[in-house]
Amino acid sequence: MRKTFNRTLLEIAKRNERIFLVVSDIGYGEIEPFAHTFPDRFFNVGVAEQNMTGIACGLALEGNIAVTYSIANFPTLRCLEQIRNDVCYHNANVKIVIIGGGVAYGALGISHHSTEDLAIMRALPNMVVLSPCDCIEAKEATRAMIEHQGPVYYRCGYKGEPAIHSGPINFEIGRAIQIKNGNDGTIIFTGTIGYNALLAREILSQKGIKCRLISMHTIKPIDTEIILLCARETRAIITVEEHNLSGGLGSAISEVLADNCLSQIKFKRIAFPDVYVSKVGSQEWLREQYGMSPSGIAKTVEKTIREN
């Protein structure tokens, strides 16, 4: 997905001279095309994420579109004060892009995990929060991010994530995408864990359980309309996210249900518990350990739907 993001950003930057890229000690074959094509619009500040964010904000306040870019939690938690006070308070046109959300950098440990980011970023006023699931969504999300006026947080995968969509999509900030239909229950996911959710739906289908599958690529603003529709038309809603239980996709959807007096619907969140993921292993292995493998997701969905 990161390749798709970087290629798309470069294509857009060739047509829009207002786009600047500011990174912090990262490269290794991904950002070099932008740096070589637009050396006057590229800055590598080194291991100084606070400076990266401040520079980006200054560029934006001069009428430009500034993109900050680094791995996992470094462009967010390390410079949260600058994002809050500089970017969001001034509604600056800064796009914060992380590579490897969740536990994509699993073997490097919690210093490189990004499992609190959705909760923190969606709590900031003026911030839009995007989490595409595959390269098709990633490309369209990049375009939508640049077109949006104001701060955007973009959570991007960093490996060769399998495709979930089989063709062109209608991507709109704040409008989820229905991938599969079904009335027994609804699985709503965000981000790259979506492929496991798709495989889980296939397992359930073989058991006669037909689930609706929704890609909630925008966490904020969230698509209230589709959540309410699924709550009224299906027997349960199950959320799947590679994020902590607190404050992420599941929390956002539960808020919508509660605000609309639909708290009686069966509802279950699949996410990391309130712990630091201190186990060491690959992304897929860690997902399996915490019930996010296709079989693990299917088991939880089936149990939720069949409960009296």
Question: Any residues with CB less than 8 A from the CB of 150 and at least 6 apart, and which?
Answer: 91, 92, 93, 126, 128
CA 189, CA 268: separation in Å to the nearest integer? 12
List the helix and strand counts (H, then E) for the chain.
Answer: 11, 12
Supply the DSSP symbol for 161: P
Angle, nearest 10°, between helix axes 294-306 and 194-206?
Answer: 60
Q: Render pLDDT for 15-60 as a digit per residue (tens, 0 to 9).
A: 999 999 999 988 777 899 999 999 999 999 999 999 999 999 999 9
Please tell me the predicted confidence (pLDDT) of residue 160. Answer: 82
CA 271, CA 19: separation in Å to the nearest integer? 35
What is the average pLDDT score of the chain?
Answer: 96
Please tell me the predicted confidence (pLDDT) of residue 30. Answer: 84
Q: Which domains does the chain have, with CATH numbers?
A: 2-156 (3.40.50.970), 177-306 (3.40.50.920)
